[in-house]
Structure 1
Amino acid sequence: MTLFDSVHYARYRPGLPDEVVRLLVQELAGVQAPTLLDLGAGTGQVALSVLPALPRTAHLDLVDQDQGMLGTALDELQPHLGGRTATVHPVSAEEFAPAQPSYRADLITCCRAFHWMARPAVLAMAGRVAAPQATVAVMGDGSLWTHPAEWTAALKGLIQSHLGEYRRAGAAGAYSEPGRRYEDDLAGSAFSDITEHRIPFTRAWTPPCVLGYLRSTSFARPDLFADHPGFEEQARALLLRHSQDGVLHEDGVFTVLLARRPGESR
């Protein structure tokens, strides 16, 4: 079974804030033909966000276990490549192995997906394929499940009334927090020179967009519900009650960890 709905994922998952894009692109300054390696790429939110700021000589490698998600990512990217090239790799992040021994990634990104991964093995792989001065960027902004607004709390309560108190995750079972901080994972890897950036953002949602987003998640995907149409009817009414002129606001923080090999900062 495919865990995520790639159509809803592509349409409703937010991309990167502009300031995050600028931060990432700065890490490629001076690289004539940069290679971006995106792990847990999904339907290409990172690639689509940074693509306009990359030189025409750039190459993108998108890695995800879900081949359907990667197919959607290529469909989304193709009209915007403009001479840039992109390759998809339907494998787990730790299994990524470039075809050419000379391959070197200049920027390795992982957005909203590091918690799903075998993190020490992924970072060991990154150490093998990264250019000497490459940056690893681990980033995320939580989800509507964790966002502490009145409307998101009410929505979470409605989901729990249908599915139980614990947060669903994966094909079955409950979500569990990572055993240790991402900073500790990075500190134990080749990329132990770490800087943290916390970037505030504001998003505007409409009730239909929230419902589409929920369909793309592992905690509220349609097959979990005994009566998904009934849930969506209740959720739509709840969101309309909490909206102002049909808009719901999310004020959050996008956290970006930039990690490099010691002594190899740009």
Structure 2
Amino acid sequence: MSTFPGTAEFYRQFRPGLPGALPTLLDQIAPAASPRRLLDIGTGPGLVVEALLERFDDIVALDSDASMVAVAESALRTPLPHGSRLQLHHGRAEEFTPSAGWQPHLVTFCRVFHWLDQSAVLARLGEYVAPEGVVAVFSDRSLWTAGNPWQRAVRDVVQDFLGTQRRAGNRTFESPGPPHTQVLRDSPFSEVTETVIPVRRTWSADDVIGYLYSTSFAAPYLFGGRRANFEAAVKTVLAHFTTNGVLLENNAFTVLTAHRPSRHGKR
């Protein structure tokens, strides 16, 4: 069963997109090529692909959740630039093999790397990523781990309704293993650079609820018939933190970019 059942539309509408500096960074670190190929693993509803459509002209996007793939398909086909190629695949990253001769120049993992068998996926990528290709792993802090006072208060509400253990769909979230930096250094892509991009956002109470419903730890179905009560409780607690109905958040994207040791500069 998917870890994110019933969340795809909420994910598309309420998950924050990428900060403006991130697509520029990814464009700069990926080698130039024609066609320039992007593989987005765990694409969800296609937020990364959407941000990079103008910078890559041969794109493969992969997700293990069929509903996410369907939402991405609907969202991305219309803005696809003329002459660009987009393929969407439903499947597991650990099992994915591209068509013969297809070598991505950039592989992206946005908010998904912790869900994967990381070493297995990286070893597989080592077999087909372009020689000077780059792997990029990036994420911001989720509401569960963020430190803003209003976010901690909302997490308390989630725990009141669903228990103190963080959920991951119908199971309990398992703590991640070694730091992602170490996992990458132990992979074929062992030259790793870390960049932190600060983010400042504004939210409404409805935005927060929509975001919660996009997560594995507060997916709509987990509340059963108590959804209305949950939403009322979230709005009540957030009322103590809003100014003119607005909530402020300070967050950051941590971006790990990795390549093979033999890579010397950008072509």
Which residue among 9, 14, 17 is the counterpart of 1:15? 17
In structure 1, the residue matched to 2:45 is 43
The one-letter code sitting in structure 2 at the alignment partner of 1:43 is P
The one-letter code sitting in structure 1 at the alignment partner of 2:141 is G
Q: Give 1:32 shift.
A: 2.6
The one-letter code sitting in structure 1 at the alignment partner of 2:93 is A
In structure 1, the residue matched to 2:110 is 111
Is residue 134 of structure 1 aligned with residue 157 of structure 2? no
Q: Give 1:260 shift.
A: 0.2
In 2, the alpha carbon distance for the partners of 1:243 and 1:60 equals 41
| TM-score, normalised with respect to structure 2 | 0.94
The one-letter code sitting in structure 2 at the alignment partner of 1:205 is W
Residues 72-127 of structure 1 show CA distances to partners (whole Å, capped at 9, x for unaligned) of 1011111211122210111101111112x211000000010011101111001111
| TM-score, normalised with respect to structure 1 | 0.94
In structure 2, the residue matched to 1:192 is 190
Identity %: 38
Q: Give 1:30 shift.
A: 2.8
Q: Give 1:241 shift.
A: 2.7
Q: Is the 8 A contact 1:191 1:262 kept in 2?
A: yes
Residues 139-194 of structure 1 show CA distances to partners (whole Å, capped at 9, x for unaligned) of 1012011110110011011111111111111x322222211111111111110000
Following superposition, which runs of at least 4 residues in structure 1 exceed 3 angstroms of deviation? none
In structure 1, runs of 5+ residues without a counterpart are none
In 1, the alpha carbon distance for the partners of 2:211 and 2:127 equals 35
In 1, the alpha carbon distance for the partners of 2:67 and 2:222 equals 20
SS in structure 1 at match of 2:11 = helix
Change in Cα spacing, 1:124 to 1:220, as seen in structure 2 (3 Å) is same
In 2, the alpha carbon distance for the partners of 1:249 and 1:129 equals 42
In the alignment of these two chains, the number of paired residues is: 261
SS in structure 2 at match of 1:250 = strand
In 2, the alpha carbon distance for the partners of 1:30 and 1:137 equals 16
CA RMSD of aligned residues (A): 1.3
SS in structure 2 at match of 1:105 = coil
In structure 2, the residue matched to 1:216 is 214
Relative contact order higher in (CA < 8 Å, ≥ 6 apart): 2
In structure 2, runs of 5+ residues without a counterpart are none
